[in-house]
Structure 1
Amino acid sequence: MTTPATDPRPASPVDAVADAFVATLARLHPIHATHLGVPGHERELTDYSPDAWAERADQSRSTLLALEGLAPADAVDEVTVAAMGYALRTELDLLDAGERQRELNNIASPSQEVVEVFDLMATDTEQAWDDVAARLAAVPAALDSYVASLRAAAARGDVAARRQVEAVVAQAREVADPEESAFTRLVRGDDARRVLGEGHALRADLERAAASARDAYARLAQVLTEEIAPLAPEQDAVGRERYALWSRQALGAEVDLDETYAWGLEELARVQAEQQQVAEQIAGPGATVEQAVALLDADPARRLGDTDALRAWMQATSDAAIEALDGTHFDIPVPVRTLECRIAPSRTGAIYYTGPSDDFSRPGRMWWSVPPEVTSFATWRERTTVYHEGVPGHHLQIAQAVHERATLNSWRRLASWTSGHGEGWALYAERLMADLGFLDDPGDRLGMLDGQRLRAARVVFDLGMHLGLPAPAEVGAAWTPDTGWDFLRANVNMPESFVRFEYTRYLGWPGQAPSYKVGQRLWEQARDTARATAQARGQVFDLRDFHARALRLGSVPLAVLPGALAG
């Protein structure tokens, strides 16, 4: 257990409501409990049935009523009430609109959640493997409950677009394949052999449970193919009403969608111009970005030959950032100084962060899910990614919140997450590292700008496609799946398989992808407002202090952030 840096703040009635919400959430959503590091649910999986969604809606409503009946005891409570109120009302709007029951896309729906939770499970003791076996055995029931919700939504006419159904079918078939399945790799991997040996009785239990889990994914693929796909619409765009709701959920704020689209076009043009300047530094006057990229990719000093080298480089880069930033630009608590970099067992191509457990016995981790066809890696592209996922990005933000036990309740520390706040901070952190001199190498800086261009392009693509907004000249007469694909290919300097995955993601998860760049914009506005306020008062703006105050808040809806920082 981490020793608090300050005397604990007395718990309030608001804290009690928030803590009770987390305990109930862990019971109703065991997968989320594992992500939060809340123990006691390792052998269970989440129920995704219509009745379970109704129970979670009841939990949110009763929590809102409890909060409305309490007077905040202090400024911390005021933020809690505002943040929980915003988050719970938005979640209830999603539930009431049937969005959770119909949820199906290629990256963030129950089909992926059930597989990926095993990446976070302990595998270093016999008891841990017994928990894995029990959770694997629970996979069929979890997927059956998910199918029940998909069928109920379909009966109302709520079905995901055909593109998303086909993507999840392909993923489910891979998980069902005895040779390719993540479940097979899990139970036959090095950790199982090291802890259990070849003849341990648990090995047979694990094999049986993994086979049962694979069979469940085969049945899911069959249901999606035979029942859901024939009902799935061809149209990907969700329209303004659904988009506005998902955008509010992702940002934790309501923004003018048309103004944001116009800003996205301007921001994309600005990043493209900055890229051109850096490209000429790399490849000479008049050189194109493509020519600079070719030079960087051909440089053996910027190349990693396999996943072992990638993991080692990620770890070394992360450790160096922590060492350089602690005590200079940030004050990093001792438990937060540990970040593990890992290659994920899954193969989706995603790069992501998972936070530490409540007691830091499981550290924060950066994961790279490497597709089988990807065999080498360019450091110039990915140094900024390490800063995004690690320090000062997600790890510093999320692990710092977990560390704030002396001040924050368990919901604020563990369960409060807004994509616009968290992903916006991570993009803010990338640009900050450039401003601090950590990306002065032109190749590394081009890599950062490459990521910024991707995030700006998807603001334009996501809003333009889903809302049917006027297309820019380079797109053509109108946004269509084909013109949208061409637009992304022109602006995303990544392998086609990566761009295809992202393209499908944006079409199936409306409003989430723009939350990164729009979140960065709102973070920068908050910083600039704080600077202007300090200057108006005749004070010197202290950026390190601004960051410290912001990180101590934990993740809050972006609508709440300015008032919380001013409080």
Structure 2
Amino acid sequence: MADASGQRESGSQRSGRVPSAVDVLAEEWLDVMLEHEPEWHVSLGRPGRDGEYADLSPSGHEAYADAARAMRRRLDHVEPRDDVDVVTHAELVRVLDLHVEEHDAGTWRSDLNVIASPVQNVRDVFDLMPRDDVDGWSGVATRLANMPGALAGYTESLRSGIRAGDTPARRQVVEVVDQARRQAEAGAFFDELADAAASASVPASLQADLRRGADGARAAYAELATFLADELAPAARERDACGRDRYALASRGFLGAAVDLEETYDWGLEELDRMVREQEAVAQQVLPGASVAEAVAHLESSPEHRLVGTDALQAWMQETSDRAVEELGRTHFDVPDIMRSLECRIAPTQEGGIYYTPPSDDFARPGRMWWSVPEGVTEFDTWRELTTVYHEGVPGHHLQCGYAVWNAAELNAWRRGALWTSGHGEGWALYAERLMADLGYLDSPADRLGMLDGQRMRAARVVLDLGVHLELPRPDGDGPWTAEHAFAFMAEHVNMNAPFVRFEVNRYLGWPGQAPSYKVGQRIWEQVRDAWVREHGPDLKEFHRRALSLGSVGLDTLRATLVGGCATSERDLRLRIHR
């Protein structure tokens, strides 16, 4: 509830509506998620089942799907009580149906890619695990000990895919073999983790457990790499394209909306052309008479926008983020005090990329922005990355995710912390980038060129992702898309080095539908905003408050809820979603 200052209390002290029958089922589903995916305890900052992993075997996946089917049947007998329930019920139905549909399609038995599959997730959970005391380190030791079993179950699922003739593309397998081998190297992440315990005043017996766990984890990744290279790679499919049926399912999952794939491809081509023309115009402002490449080279050679060393990078990230929080919190957004803390950190990995992790449910662990700096990279261009800080921080993911966590007065724990839709989340973050340009934060031609560089890349990957996986006609008219053409196409539209281009394209090839969800999500966010403004007027602060108070929902639900007012029953909402 609001106090005299207008701010709500934090954590479990926040209260609001009396939980409904729909809320109870949503909370029960969260409990099911925590049972079948114990890693959610870490993500949500909840105590319990420290160090356990999901059962990644075929039987584990089947048990999880059975639980989703059971919950779905129970939902059919519960009616929404109010507008909050309408959204919760519709989203729970969507998520449960999608879970079962994906399971029945067998996506779990070919779940391997270069960025977001169990190969990475099993390790990445350590980044959020607390290590402030003996209990925290004990949880790390337990998880290390459990890792071989988790990877063994995962291997069993991939073997079932081999038997069913449903395997990932060989290109993904080859890349992931290298990733697994790096995790297995002596002196790499797991050994560094055990070494860190030695300098953290951890008891000798626990240090010994951590050392044994690190050795076991490295051995488990070595065994996984051998399986991938010797068994999965020879059986992997040659084609990078996943095909229309699996793509349509993936796209619907990432967007929370069904879109016309061919129309989206055509729109992507138009949007890319618009981004190129806008970027070319801004390049002239950076350096009269210059092409985009020449303007970029000019900026890269100038020390004015350069940071040297990761310490300088981290300090710049934090300063930029703090300033955005303070200024936007006074003018364009409601930013509760408890959300104003956003930590900017250098990630312990060296895979490249910048990402955000949300606060724990009680805000004891604040939202964090992480920069995974590749090995050997020591210089950074602020003009290129300023918009990324806004994307990951405020008004991007931190405002979006933090607001949902804070809004415990209306949102149950499932909606606050465990309901995530990429098109909603990443679409909002791109929407936030453009908003910052509209608000004058990117008026410098250099900074605007950096923002357009990112927007152009996101438009290009809409075209590339749909083109490759659906094997659509290429823009040059010279036959259908192939992976080889994709690498050349991406290199043309980003100002990044060859290793970055290679990683990015491999990401799209192995994770169909995810990359377009950013730009397509932005498109839908802007469509919803424009429709809302036509109906309610130009008060964007109010639009943002209402939209963010929903938490992360499917984009069809976002549109149906905000455009034309809130539905009064699930039937009305569904009619709006499907009209």
Scaled by the length of structure 2, the TM-score of the pair is: 0.94
2:47 match: secondary structure: coil
Contact 1:196 1:202 in 2 (8 A): no
Contact 2:14 2:408 in 1 (8 A): no
Q: Which residues of structure 1 form unaligned runs of 5+?
A: 535-539
**CA displacement, residues 488-508 of structure 1 (integer Å, 9 cap, x when unaligned):** 000011121111111000000
From 361, 367, 370, give the equivalent of 2:370: 367
Code of the residue aligned with 1:124 in structure 2: it is: D
Deviation at 1:311, TM superposition (A): 1.1
From 198, 216, 222, give the equivalent of 1:218: 222
Give the aligned partner of residue 472 of structure 1: 475
Give the aligned partner of residue 419 of structure 1: 422
1:146 match: secondary structure: helix
Give the aligned partner of residue 481 of structure 1: 483
1:366 match: secondary structure: strand
Code of the residue aligned with 2:385 in structure 1: it is: E
**CA displacement, residues 117-141 of structure 1 (integer Å, 9 cap, x when unaligned):** 0000011111111111111111100
**CA displacement, residues 326-371 of structure 1 (integer Å, 9 cap, x when unaligned):** 0310010112111111111111112111111111111111111111
The CA RMSD over aligned residues, in Å, is 1.4
- Alignment partner of 1:445 is 2:438: no
Contact 1:115 1:182 in 2 (8 A): no
- Alignment partner of 1:98 is 2:106: yes
Give the aligned partner of residue 520 of structure 2: 518
Q: In the aligned structure 1, how far is the partner of 2:193 from the partner of 2:447?
A: 35
Give the aligned partner of residue 161 of structure 2: 153
Deviation at 1:160, TM superposition (A): 0.3
Code of the residue aligned with 2:217 in structure 1: it is: A
Deviation at 1:35, TM superposition (A): 1.6
Worse-matched range after superposition: 133-142 or 42-51: 42-51
Give the aligned partner of residue 58 of structure 2: 50
- Alignment partner of 1:140 is 2:148: yes
Q: Which residues of structure 2 form unaligned runs of 5+?
A: 1-8, 567-579
Give the aligned partner of residue 232 of structure 1: 236
Q: In the aligned structure 1, how far is the partner of 2:99 from the partner of 2:472?
A: 27
Give the aligned partner of residue 189 of structure 2: 182
**CA displacement, residues 265-298 of structure 1 (integer Å, 9 cap, x when unaligned):** 00000011110111000001x3100111011111
From 538, 544, 547, give the equivalent of 2:544: 547
Give the aligned partner of residue 555 of structure 2: 558
**CA displacement, residues 475-525 of structure 1 (integer Å, 9 cap, x when unaligned):** 743312221111000001112111111100000010110000000000000
Deviation at 1:20, TM superposition (A): 0.9
**CA displacement, residues 442-470 of structure 1 (integer Å, 9 cap, x when unaligned):** 11111100000000000000001111111
Give the aligned partner of residue 376 of structure 1: 379
User: Structure 1's 7 and 115: CA in aligned 2 closer, same or farther, altered over 3 A?
Assistant: closer
Deviation at 1:533, TM superposition (A): 1.3
Q: In the aligned structure 2, how far is the partner of 1:271 from the partner of 1:376?
A: 27
1:149 match: secondary structure: helix
Give the aligned partner of residue 573 of structure 2: none
From 78, 89, 94, give the equivalent of 2:86: 78
Contact 2:11 2:362 in 1 (8 A): no
**CA displacement, residues 186-231 of structure 1 (integer Å, 9 cap, x when unaligned):** 2223xx344226x733222211110100000000000111111110
Deviation at 1:101, TM superposition (A): 2.4
Q: In the aligned structure 1, how far is the partner of 2:14 from the partner of 2:58?
A: 44
From 351, 354, 358, give the equivalent of 2:361: 358
2:538 match: secondary structure: coil
Code of the residue aligned with 2:488 in structure 1: it is: D
Q: In the aligned structure 2, how far is the partner of 1:452 from the partner of 1:129?
A: 41
Q: Which runs of 4+ in 1 moved over 3 A?
A: 3-7, 475-478
Code of the residue aligned with 2:200 in structure 1: it is: V
Code of the residue aligned with 1:372 in structure 2: it is: E
User: Structure 1's 364 and 3: CA in aligned 2 closer, same or farther, altered over 3 A?
Assistant: closer
Scaled by the length of structure 1, the TM-score of the pair is: 0.96
**CA displacement, residues 502-557 of structure 1 (integer Å, 9 cap, x when unaligned):** 100000010110000000000000000001112xxxxx321000000001000000
Alignment of 1:234-249 (within 5 A): 234-249=238-253
Contact 1:318 1:391 in 2 (8 A): yes
Q: In the aligned structure 1, how far is the partner of 2:73 from the partner of 2:379?
A: 53
Q: In the aligned structure 2, how far is the partner of 1:429 from the partner of 1:33?
A: 29
Deviation at 1:38, TM superposition (A): 2.6
From 69, 79, 88, give the equivalent of 2:77: 69
Q: In the aligned structure 2, how far is the partner of 1:215 from the partner of 1:252?
A: 39
Q: In the aligned structure 1, how far is the partner of 2:34 from the partner of 2:201?
A: 29
Contact 2:359 2:367 in 1 (8 A): yes
Deviation at 1:37, TM superposition (A): 2.3
Code of the residue aligned with 1:527 in structure 2: it is: R
User: Structure 1's 6 and 29: CA in aligned 2 closer, same or farther, altered over 3 A?
Assistant: closer
1:342 match: secondary structure: strand
Q: In the aligned structure 2, how far is the partner of 1:337 from the partner of 1:194?
A: 32
Give the aligned partner of residue 577 of structure 2: none
- Alignment partner of 1:257 is 2:261: yes
1:100 match: secondary structure: helix
Give the aligned partner of residue 537 of structure 1: none
Q: In the aligned structure 2, how far is the partner of 1:316 from the partner of 1:182?
A: 29
Give the aligned partner of residue 432 of structure 1: 435
Deviation at 1:418, TM superposition (A): 0.4
Give the aligned partner of residue 125 of structure 2: 117
Give the aligned partner of residue 495 of structure 1: 497
Worse-matched range after superposition: 31-40 or 12-21: 31-40
Worse-matched range after superposition: 104-113 or 347-356: 347-356
2:78 match: secondary structure: coil
Alignment of 1:193-204 (within 5 A): 193-196=198-201, 200-204=204-208
